[in-house]
C-alpha cells in the first residue's frame, strides 16, 4: 500500500522530534517555511501537523506558532476510551482495571520511590485533606487523582504511568459527578482518608506487599460505596419511572 504524503511528512516530523531536532517547549519554524523545507504544500504539511497535535505531541497557538508539547502535560485521551464513558458500567470497568494496576503501582512504588517522590506523595496527601469540604467537589476529586498518580509515578514504570493518567483523565471528564457524590457522603470520608493514609504509609515504609494490600482494600471499599450509590439511584429512577403506569 502506498502511503499518503501527509503521512510520510508526519513520520518525518515524528523522527525529528525523537532525534531531538526540537525539544519540549521549542517553537517550530513557521508553516510556510517548514512546508518549503520539506518540499510539500502547506495544506499537506498542515494535515501532518494536525495528526501530531491530535496525538498530543505538538500544540499550536493562532498567531503565535507551533510548539513541542511538554511530555508531562499529556492532554491526550485515547479516543476509544472516550467512547466508553457513556456506558454506565464504565466506572466499574475502570475500577476493576484500577484494582489491578494500583496494587502493583503501590507495590513497585514501595520498592522504588526516592526522596523526591516521598515528599510529593506527602504533599499530595496533605493537599487532599485540605481540599476536603471544598465548595467545588471537583477540586477534591482532582486532588484524590493527583494523590494516586503521585504513587504510580513513584513506581517508575512509564507504561503503567501512562495508562493510569489516561484512566484518570477519562474519569475526570464525565464520571466525576459520581465520584463527588462519593465524597459528600458523610460516612465515607473518614474511612477513605484512613485508607489513603495507610496506603501512603505502607509505600513510604517500603512495605511492598502491605502497600499492594492497602491499595486493593481501598478500591474494594470504593467499589462497594459506588454500588450503594448506584442502587440508591436506580431505586429513585424506578420510583419515578413507575409513576406513569399508575
In the complex, which residues of this chain contact its own copies (CB under 8 A)? 4, 6, 18, 43, 46-47, 50-51, 54-57, 62, 74, 76, 78-81, 83-84, 86-87, 90, 93-94, 96-97, 99-101, 103-105, 108, 157-160, 162-163, 166-167
- Shortest distance (Å) from residue 48 CB to DNA: 9
Residue 56 contact partner, candidates its own copies, DNA, none, CB within 5 to 8 A by sort of partner: its own copies
Region 8-47 residues binding DNA, contact defined as CB under 7 A: 28-33, 40-44, 46-47
60 contributes a contact to DNA by CB under 7 A: yes
Residue 63 contact partner, candidates its own copies, DNA, none, CB within 5 to 8 A by sort of partner: DNA
- 36 by Cβ neighbours in 10 Å (0-12 / 13-18 / 19+) ranks as middle
Residue closer to DNA by CB (options 11, 126) is 11
From the list 9, 1, 67, the residue with the least C-alpha distance to 41 is 9
Residue 158 contact partner, candidates its own copies, DNA, none, CB within 5 to 8 A by sort of partner: its own copies
Residue 66 contact partner, candidates its own copies, DNA, none, CB within 5 to 8 A by sort of partner: DNA
Name the DSSP letter for residue 70.
P
- 201 by Cβ neighbours in 10 Å (0-12 / 13-18 / 19+) ranks as middle
Nine-digit cell string for 82: 472516550
Residue 16 contact partner, candidates its own copies, DNA, none, CB within 5 to 8 A by sort of partner: none
- State phi, psi for 3 to the nearest 5 degrees: -95, 145
Count the Cβ atoms, other than its own, within 10 Å of residue 62. 5
- Shortest distance (Å) from residue 35 CB to its own copies: 14
Ordered alpha helix ranges (H), the chain = 5-18, 31-38, 42-54, 79-84, 90-112, 115-131, 137-153, 158-174, 176-184, 186-204, 208-242
Residue closer to its own copies by CB (options 163, 214) is 163
User: CA-CA distance, 19 to 122, in Å (whole number)?
Assistant: 36
Residue 227 contact partner, candidates DNA, its own copies, none, CB within 5 to 8 A by sort of partner: none
The site for DNA (CB under 7 A) is made up of 2, 4-6, 28-33, 40-44, 46-47, 49, 60-66
Amino acid at each position: 500500500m502506498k502511503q499518503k504524503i501527509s503521512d510520510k511528512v508526519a513520520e518525518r516530523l515524528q523522527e525529528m522530534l525523537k532525534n531531538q531536532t526540537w525539544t519540549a517547549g521549542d517553537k517550530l519554524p513557521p508553516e510556510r517555511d517548514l512546508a518549503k523545507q520539506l518540499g510539500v504544500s502547506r495544506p499537506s504539511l498542515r494535515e501532518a501537523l494536525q495528526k501530531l497535535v491530535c496525538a498530543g505531541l505538538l500544540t499550536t497557538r493562532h498567531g503565535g506558532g507551533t510548539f513541542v508539547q511538554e511530555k508531562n502535560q499529556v492532554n491526550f485521551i485515547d479516543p476509544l476510551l472516550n467512547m466508553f464513558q457513556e456506558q454506565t458500567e464504565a466506572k466499574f470497568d475502570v475500577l476493576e482495571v484500577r484494582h489491578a494496576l494500583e496494587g502493583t503501582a503501590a507495590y513497585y512504588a514501595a520498592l522504588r520511590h526516592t526522596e523526591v517522590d516521598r515528599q510529593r506523595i506527602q504533599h499530595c496527601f496533605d493537599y487532599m485533606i485540605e481540599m476536603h469540604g471544598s465548595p467545588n467537589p471537583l477540586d477534591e476529586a482532582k486532588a484524590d487523582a493527583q494523590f494516586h498518580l503521585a504513587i504510580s509515578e513513584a513506581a517508575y514504570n512509564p507504561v503503567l504511568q501512562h495508562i493510569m493518567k489516561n484512566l484518570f483523565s477519562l474519569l475526570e471528564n464525565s464520571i466525576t459527578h459520581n465520584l463527588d457524590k462519593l465524597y459528600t457522603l458523610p460516612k465515607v470520608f473518614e474511612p477513605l482518608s484512613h485508607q489513603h493514609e495507610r496506603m501512603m504509609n505502607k509505600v513510604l515504609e517500603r512495605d511492598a506487599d502491605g502497600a499492594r494490600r492497602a491499595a486493593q482494600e481501598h478500591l474494594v471499599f470504593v467499589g462497594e460505596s459506588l454500588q450503594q450509590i448506584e442502587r440508591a439511584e436506580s431505586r429513585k429512577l424506578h420510583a419515578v419511572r413507575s409513576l406513569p403506569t399508575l
